[in-house]
Amino acid sequence: MSETSGNAIPAYLPLRNDLIGEEPYGAPQLDVPVCLNVNENPYAPEPAVIETIAQRVKEIAPTLNRYPDREHIALRQAFRDYLKKESGVDLAVDQLWGANGSNEIMLQLFQAFGGPGRIALGCDPTYSMYPEYARDTFTQWRLAHRNADFSLNVENTIEAIRDVKPAMIVLTSPNNPTGTPLAMDDLRRVLETAKTVEVAGAAEGVHPVVVVDEAYVEFRDPGTPTALELIDEYGNLAVSRTMSKAFAFAGARVGYLAASKGIIDCVRIVRMPYHLSAVTQAAALAAFEHTDEQLSRVAHLRETRNATAVWLREQTYKGRPLETAETQSNFILFGGHFDDRERIFDELLKRGVLIRVVGPDGWVRVCMGTDEEMARFREALVEALRIVEQD
């Protein structure tokens, strides 16, 4: 389902030939009581956080006639301080870079390392925006298939790397839409392979960049490692993160990249001038002043995820228990054998609950909401399953 379906582009406009028939990306934005479709943190910022954001913005408001710090040094320092506390990884400021959400980070990586004659490799099922970044930068998009349980098929991936010689290898941990974590041993094997493979369309001696998208990583179980731990060991590793999810800051649009200084400098070449507004930088710095408050609900959402997964597996559809994919995120891919997942979606929507039809056939995805929202989801799903089975 698309929020932009039905949009008509006038025939007289010179839209690029490869974009004719395309529609803007977007999950449905519908006015319903329970929205569990875009993986947001359902809890609003605390009053103290809101007050600090307002104060920070007020302080910089008289300077809005001037351009902001295009290198956003203070914010990059805040990224550094946060990652040292959150993951125990101490990076330099010039190993960090911010942008308008991790979407812009990923687009900048495609702009820097993709392009005509270049290939980017992903592992499906994966985030549906990646092929759009490739399309928009004239980069070829190729796929290596995951295992049946959605874990990374390392052998398939390594074979594909050697075959297509990509400029970029895009991995996701936890994976979207499945929630599957990426084992560090698997990542190491990919990184080691990338060091030995040439890049199609590049000069001799050029090797692929491995991008790990960790948008949901704060929801991982305690003690689970992060790809950040390998950055100083591998100069070809880039790790994308965001403040949108666990940090409860989706509306502020702040993402960031951790990598070698060389990768950061490549991204700086393609970034738009002054791409992070002074207001965005001020709001993000204010949020980092309240890191503990911003992340205060993460443990509860993790518990909600685990309890919801257990509950889902106790439900049945046409005589078979529902399946859930292993998840370390704030969402669950479930079903496994829905023969009409659009009908499940519609029945939930009729009951005021919005989820997402995404991923392989037979599956749908729900993100974790408040306790009240999750209670309504459970009630609505039981009703929806009953109605569908009666037909």
Q: Domain of 376: which CATH number?
A: 3.90.1150.10
Same domain, 84 and 40: no
pLDDT for position 52: 97
Query: Is 137 within a domain?
Result: yes
Residue 2 pLDDT greater than 70, yes or no? no
The b-or-e profile of 186-202 (16+ CB within 10 A means b, else e) is bbebbbebbeebebebe
- How much is the pLDDT for 87? 95
Residues 309 and 182 in one domain: no
**pLDDT for residue 26 is more than 90:** no
SS3 182: coil
pLDDT per position as a tens digit, 130-167: 999 999 999 999 999 999 999 999 999 999 999 999 99
Whether residue 267 is found in the same domain as residue 362: no
Last residue of a domain, one of 275, 294, 313: 294
pLDDT greater than 70 at residue 285 = yes
Residue 6 counted as domain residue: no
Same domain membership, residue 318 and residue 272: no
Rounded to two decimals, what is the model's pTM? Answer: 0.94
The pLDDT of residue 28 = 72
Alpha carbons 49 and 288: distance in angstroms, whole number: 9
Tell me, yes or no, whether 32 lies in a domain. Answer: yes
Distance between CA 280 and CA 277 in Å, rounded?
5
**249 and 311 fall within a common domain:** no
- Choosing from 277, 294, 311, the residue where a domain stops is 294
Q: Report the largest interatomic distance among the alpha carbons of the chain, rounded to a whole angstrom.
A: 65
Is it true that the peptide bond before 177 is cis, omega within 30 degrees of 0?
yes
Is the same domain home to 323 and 213?
A: no
Q: Does any domain span residue 5? A: no
- 304 found inside a domain: yes
Mean pLDDT for all residues in the chain? 95
Q: What is the pLDDT of residue 42?
A: 96
pLDDT band, residue 4 (cuts 50/70/90) = very low
Strand partners, 210: 169, 237
Q: Are residues 143 and 72 in the same domain?
A: yes
pLDDT digits (tens, 9 = 90+) for 182-221: 999 999 999 999 999 999 999 999 999 999 999 999 999 9
Same domain, 37 and 103: no
Q: 67-85 pLDDT, tens per residue?
A: 999 999 999 999 999 999 9
Cis peptide before 131 (omega within 30 of 0): no
Instruction: Say whether both 203 and 259 belong to one domain.
Output: yes
pLDDT for position 266: 98
Instruction: Write out the two tokens for 320.
Output: 């078979």
CATH code, 120:
3.40.640.10
How many folded domains does the chain comprise? 2
Q: Are residues 182 and 129 in the same domain?
A: yes
Q: What percent of the chain has pLDDT over 70?
A: 98
Please give the pLDDT value at position 264: 98
- 59 and 114, same domain (yes or no): yes
Residue 12 falls within a domain, yes or no? no
Q: At 267, which helix (H) or strand (E)?
A: helix 261-270
Segments forming the whole domain that contains residue 316: 17-45+296-390
- The last residue of a domain, from among 294, 326, 345: 294
What pLDDT sits at residue 5? Answer: 43
- State how far the alpha carbon of 356 is from the alpha carbons of 29, 128, 177, 232, 388, in Å: 11, 13, 10, 37, 18
SS3 content of the chain, % helix, strand, coil (to 5): 40, 15, 45
In the predicted structure, residue 295 carries a pLDDT above the cut 80: yes
Alpha helices in 34-178 (DSSP H): 47-60, 73-87, 101-113, 130-136, 154-164
In a domain, 2, yes or no: no
Tell whether 236 is covered by a domain.
yes
Please report the DSSP string for 341-386 in residue order: HHHHHHHHHHTTEE-B--SSTTEEEEE---HHHHHHHHHHHHHHHH
Q: pLDDT tens-digit profile of 249-262?
A: 999 999 999 999 99
Residue 29 pLDDT greater than 90, yes or no: no
Is 7 exposed, middle or buried (CB count within 10 Å of its CB: 0-12, 13-18, 19+)?
exposed
pLDDT tens digits for 94-107? 999 999 999 999 99
pLDDT (0 to 100) of residue 7: 65
3-state secondary structure at position 292: helix
* pLDDT confidence bin for 3, thresholds 50/70/90: very low
């490739």: which residue's tokens? 134
Identify residue 141 by its one-letter amino acid code: W
Order of strands across the sheet that contains 323-324? 323-324, 331-335, 363-367
C-alpha 244/C-alpha 31 separation (Å) is 21
User: Are 378 and 313 a contacting pair, CB within 8 Å?
Assistant: no
Two structure tokens written together for 321: 């228990």
pLDDT of residue 294: 92
Is 1's pLDDT higher than 50? no
Tokens of 114: 């993709």
Same domain, 104 and 190: yes
226: CB partners within 8 A, 6+ apart: 87, 89, 214, 217, 220, 239
Q: pLDDT tens digit string along 264-275?
A: 999 999 999 999
